[in-house]
Structure 1
Amino acid sequence: MSTRTRICLVTGANRGIGLEFTRQLLARGDRVVATARQPGKATALNTLAGEYPGRLHVLPLDITQPRTHAELARELPLAVGDDVRIDLLINNAGVLHSGERFGALGLDTLEHSFRTNAAGPLLLTQTLAPQLANGARVVNMSSRIGAIALTRRFGTPSYAISKAALNMATALLGQALSPHDIVVVAVSPGWVRTEMGGADAEVATADAVAGLLAQIERLAMTDSGSFFDWQGAPIPW
């Protein structure tokens, strides 16, 4: 990456891991475009925008709706300037449906998880590809739960299936974007203390994000298409 101020785009940034990514990226001096489905209700993000005038831009995005991907791409030049070059895209927006059990799975839940966790990040990255800088990094927020080799029980099926699909999307995007020296990786933040992870989770949100950012800084083209955790340990597919 060059010495100019980096531009980062974080989806699902209104809470949890996405919000913490936004905080830490701003703290290190980057410019951030943070997306939320309802920016007007993203209180913490809007507070940050007041603390970092001109460096944090909060824009609407529903990751399940491709039309909003196109709208975001059109809004970016207005937010950060005509020569948009995104250095870091963090596909963080995701959903975890609880209460699923074998024998009572529903297509609607499976479809919604797939649209949110797999198809959404894939299609958004495709839409934003012309605005990615040469040498950019694309980080897809996956999970160990999506690792087929680690499956030991029946649990959170729509989440697990959609994250496994996201991992394949990561490998494919790595191939598609390699001519521009863009590295694409899937990462697992671990069991993080967020609204999704719960209060009993093992890893503090700030620690998980700091660890992931440290790993992202070390990425090389040979890492594209890989899957690792917040401490850099590889995860089997």
Structure 2
Amino acid sequence: MAIHHGDRLVYLVTGASRGIGLEYVKQLLERGHHVIAAARNPEKSGGLTTLAEQHGSQLTLVTMDVAVPASIQAAATSISEAFPEGIDVLINNAGISGTIVKSSEQDGDEFKDILMINSLGPFLVIKAFLTLIRKGSKKQIVNISSGLGSIATAAHYLNGGPSKLGPLKGADSPMAKRQLGYRASKAALNMTTVALAVDLQEEGITIIAMCPGWVDTDMGSGAAGMLGVAKPPLTAPTSVAMQLKVVDGLNLEKSGTYFNHEGNVVPF
């Protein structure tokens, strides 16, 4: 059955069961938009089920595992039937961090899994939903990346130079030699963003990469102890509120840009 959303914008958020994704769902619902929340097991997310009880038909829960192409396609099929008028904004958020080990000790199988979920998965989501995005009024895609995916920033480590990533202060930082899989996956996502921005620009589709900052979530807090801090500096509500200000200001001229949550341009 088709869902008629009237004047509401329709947002699709992946990785919506917790953390940044769940916070996106909360704040978009508070704004009055219709939100499609996609997750591997949405019915097991207490946060999503509570929001569904509070917002009723304004929220649509969809099962989607970005590591499984067939799951992505099945979700696209069901959403196409429910939202034939299209999707306005895709928040491509699903991702994993992997084990925090030295780069030379990165497990190959885990590396492959990280690339699948953080790099190939988001591309397959875009590809599966592109027809719906073309129909939308906003035609926007936000790929949630990371400052750790910036090759330009990482290059400073070679010369012992400073980084702009808070506690990641240079070559002597505990993180300088770690998280190869995560970093490479986000760098690949950034390239995907730029390549698709060039390809889709003539169709009026805006696509950006977004660094949410270091956020106090289950995934983001993993490195806190290693860096000698109690917890990451940003809460999910603060980060997402700032990200949404950036998203609100998007236009086609900004397509292909790598932003942080403050709206500053991050070097690729």
Give the TM-score category using the shorter length. Answer: over 0.9
Structure 1 Cα separation of the partners of residues 202 and 57 of structure 2: 32
Structure 2 Cα separation of the partners of residues 180 and 24 of structure 1: 29
Kindly report the root-mean-square deviation, in angstroms, between the aligned alpha carbons of the 2 structures: 1.3
Structure 2 Cα separation of the partners of residues 224 and 106 of structure 1: 34
Structure 2 Cα separation of the partners of residues 144 and 49 of structure 1: 32
Q: What aligned pairs does 1:83-102 form with structure 2 within 5 A after superposition?
A: 83-102=84-103
Structure 2 Cα separation of the partners of residues 138 and 102 of structure 1: 31
Match of 1:195? 218
Alignment coverage as a number of residue pairs:
233
Structure 2 Cα separation of the partners of residues 84 and 66 of structure 1: 24
The answer on 1:176 being equivalent to 2:177 is no
Residue 102 of structure 1 deviates from its aligned partner by: 3.6
Any gaps of 5 or more consecutive residues in structure 2?
1-5, 158-175, 222-229
Deviates more, 1:109-118 or 1:35-44: 35-44
Any gaps of 5 or more consecutive residues in structure 1?
none
Match of 1:167? 190
Write out per-residue CA displacement over residues 72-125 of structure 1, whole angstroms, 9 at most, x where no aligned residue: 1111144x44x2311110000000012322432221111111001011001110
Structure 1 Cα separation of the partners of residues 146 and 207 of structure 2: 15
Structure 2 Cα separation of the partners of residues 92 and 21 of structure 1: 9
Residue 134 of structure 1 deviates from its aligned partner by: 5.0
Residue 166 of structure 1 deviates from its aligned partner by: 0.2
Structure 2 Cα separation of the partners of residues 117 and 193 of structure 1: 19
AA aligned opposite 1:96:
S
Structure 2 Cα separation of the partners of residues 15 and 72 of structure 1: 19
TM-score by length of 2: 0.84
TM-score by length of 1: 0.94
Residue 71 of structure 1 deviates from its aligned partner by: 0.4
Structure 2 Cα separation of the partners of residues 5 and 135 of structure 1: 12
Residues 15 and 39 of structure 2 are in contact (CA less than 8 Å); yes or no, is this contact kept in structure 1? yes
Q: Give the number of the structure whose residues are more often strand, by fraction.
A: 1
Structure ID, larger Rg: 2
Determine helix, strand or coil for the equivalent of 2:36: strand
Match of 1:9? 12
Residues 10 and 34 of structure 1 are in contact (CA less than 8 Å); yes or no, is this contact kept in structure 2? yes
Deviates more, 1:17-26 or 1:33-42: 33-42
Match of 1:221? 252
Deviates more, 1:102-111 or 1:144-153: 102-111
Residue 239 of structure 2: which of 196, 205, 208 is its match?
Answer: 208
Q: After TM superposition, which residue ranges in structure 1, 4 or more long, deviate above 4 angstroms? A: none
% identical equivalent positions: 34
Residues 134 and 180 of structure 1 are in contact (CA less than 8 Å); yes or no, is this contact kept in structure 2? no
Structure 1 Cα separation of the partners of residues 98 and 42 of structure 2: 23
Residues 134 and 182 of structure 1 are in contact (CA less than 8 Å); yes or no, is this contact kept in structure 2? no
Structure 2 Cα separation of the partners of residues 102 and 17 of structure 1: 26
Structure 2 Cα separation of the partners of residues 63 and 142 of structure 1: 15
AA aligned opposite 1:128:
F
Write out per-residue CA displacement over residues 133-158 of structure 1, whole angstroms, 9 at most, x where no aligned residue: 25411000000000011112211100
